[in-house]
Structure 1
Amino acid sequence: MIRAALLLLLSAGPAAAGCFAADGMPARAIYDGGSVLEYLGREGDVLTYRSGKVTSRVKDGIWPLENTGDGFRLEYFWTGDLPDLAAVKAAGGTARIEGERQDAKGKRLAVAAEVEILGPEEVEWEDCIYKALRLRKTMFAAGRKEAEGVVVYAPDAMIVFRTEAVDQASGKTFTYALEALE
Structure 2
Amino acid sequence: MTLISNTDGTTIPNPATGLTVYHNGNAAMDAGLYTNVGTPIAPNWTRGAIINEYQGSLIKKIKYEGTSPDATKTVQIGPVEFRFSPASYTVPEMRFLSTLTSNTLVNYHSGQFVHSTASPPTIAYQSQNRTYTAANWNVWQNVAFHATDGLNTLERNEIWLSIQNDPDAIYCVEFVILNKGTSNIYSIIATRY
TM-score (norm 1): 0.32
More strand by share: 1
TM-score (norm 2): 0.31
Higher RCO, Cα 8 Å, sep 6+: 1
More helix by share: 1
